[in-house]
Amino acid sequence: MVTMTGRLFVTGAAGQLGTAVRQVAARGDSILDVTPLTSTDLDIADSESVRSALTDLTADDVVLNCIAYTDVDGAEEDHSGAHAVNVDGPAHLVRVTKEKGAWLIHISTDYVFSGTPPRVADIEGYEPGDIDPREKPATVYGRTKLRGENVVLRNDPSSTIVRTAWLYTGGPESKDFVGTMRRLEAQRDTISVVDDQTGSPTYAHDLAAGLLELAGRGRTDAVAGQVLHATNAGRATWYELAAQVFTEIGADPARVQPCTTADFPRPAPRPAYSVLSGRSWAAAGLTPLRDWRTALGSAVAGQDSPVDHT
């Protein structure tokens, strides 16, 4: 049952996730009132711009922050830029939402974990409390995102953090991994994809539906002040994901060849293991996201999430 009575302000509304939220909310069965805020409306690194864009925010409203500095490699050199968006930006937002009594839902990432492969007992995936203070995120991107989480909860303990991972929309023209694999299939006889990084592939429309469910239910004790993990269920390597993309579009998955991370060195180290468990999401009474393979099939077919989460 929808309990939200105010508006849902979506920052980063023109980005990958923000667009998906708007599209899912625009379905005929959605009753959520979405107010999109793009970079034209709000510069998250500028406190006055944030305050001006949210000037009429009320205690009944929710702010869903989908803005992030996501250039993982670029952040290794552009420390100040990453900090301005991933740390200062959430700080500006939470000060306004706290002052107005509104609820902030802030999107974060699997990169807050070190990426060290876990023990076999932990193979189901990380839970929010699994961060070991002795292990720090391995990238500037991960460190700034973790600091952003901390500044949000420190300034307003009733806010909610939602971590996700390996986000894609999957359209043939999209710039994400799935879209890239679809284009490469038409351009090359074979492709090499790393098989020693394991994570949680997540269809942006499925995550968007989950976030709309979260916002729609309101700031209950089950979610206020919580860090939740929301990804499609299961786990895969990038190689396994690429092979499944080929399968879904009717191509021979044997054309995808496994390789190692060492074969494709990047400025920022990638997590070897960053699977996020869905146990915290389910424990909060929210609908678990479906298996990643099923979701990928829907993404390739251009279908929305089949579940009404609003």
Backbone torsions φ then ψ of 131, nearest 5 degrees: -65, 125
Please count the helices (runs of H) and the strands (runs of E) in the chain. 11, 12
Catalytic-residue membership of 141:
yes
Catalytic hit among 69, 111, 126, 141:
141
Nearest 5°: CA angle at 243, between 240 and 244?
A: 85
Burial (0-12, 13-18, 19+ Cβ within 10 Å), 260: exposed
| Contacts of 193 by beta carbon, 8 Å cutoff, 6+ apart | 181, 238, 239, 241, 242, 243, 256, 257, 258, 259
Task: Return the structure tokens found at 101.
Answer: 């009594």
Q: Beta strands 236-237 and 198-199: pairing type?
A: antiparallel
End-to-end CA distance of the chain: 8
Q: How many CB atoms lie within 10 A of CB 301?
A: 10
Q: Give bridge partners of residue 8 from the DSSP assignment.
A: 34, 62
Query: Could you list the active site residues?
Result: 141
